[in-house]
Amino acid sequence: MKKILVINGPNLNLLGQREPAIYGGTTLEEINLGLKQKAASMGLVLDFFQTNHEGEIVDRLQKLDGDFDGAALNAGAYTHTSLAIRDAILAIQTPVIEVHLSNPYARESYRQRSFLSGACRGVVGGFGARSYELALYWFATT
């Protein structure tokens, strides 16, 4: 079974209460529980990591090789600002899929640029929690 790490960045720990019109009313814990069940039916094993700190995301990415077969990364606002996270993705062999709950291209202009997309294997966004499921589907079928 493939082992996948789901990495969530800043403020995603506030899902369910943070801007529900954009991000929905489901908590991160609820999303993770649903993903774990979905992953099992796809033959995947999941682990989860959430932090509000950029350097912790970099550290976690650097430790993926050999421990995980892939990562689904929702870097939150760091998507639009972090060359450090981009460089960490480029430095590892483990494939990373960029994930967004909302559609960044339907949002503010400063959210329409990702520093991470070009370093990732793919990008999924705009489908709420299903964006994570679509990323898992890719890992399950490749």
Which of 78, 80, 100, 110 is catalytic? The answer is 100
User: Over the range 77-95, which residues count as b (16 or more CB within 10 Å of their CB) and which as e?
Assistant: ebbbebeebbebbeebebb
Q: Please give the model's pTM, rounded to 2 decimal places.
A: 0.94
Mean pLDDT of the region 36-51: 97
Based on the residue annotation, tell me whether 105 is a catalytic residue of this protein.
no
**What pLDDT, on a 0 to 100 scale, did the predictor assign at position 19?**
85
- Mean pLDDT over the full length of the chain: 95
Based on the residue annotation, tell me whether 110 is a catalytic residue of this protein.
no
For the cut 90, the answer to whether the pLDDT of residue 107 exceeds it is no
**Dist CA 23 CA 82 (whole Å):** 22
All domains of the chain, ordered by start, with CATH? 2-141 (3.40.50.9100)
Mean pLDDT of the region 87-104: 96
Q: Are 50 and 12 in contact (CB under 8 A)?
A: yes
DSSP state, residue 67: T
**pLDDT grade for 23, boundaries at 50, 70 and 90:** confident
Residue 104, Cβ neighbours under 10 Å: how many?
20
Q: Are 11 and 77 in contact (CB under 8 A)?
A: yes
Q: Are 134 and 127 in contact (CB under 8 A)?
A: yes
Which of 23, 53, 132, 137 is catalytic? The answer is 23
**What pLDDT, on a 0 to 100 scale, did the predictor assign at position 6?**
98
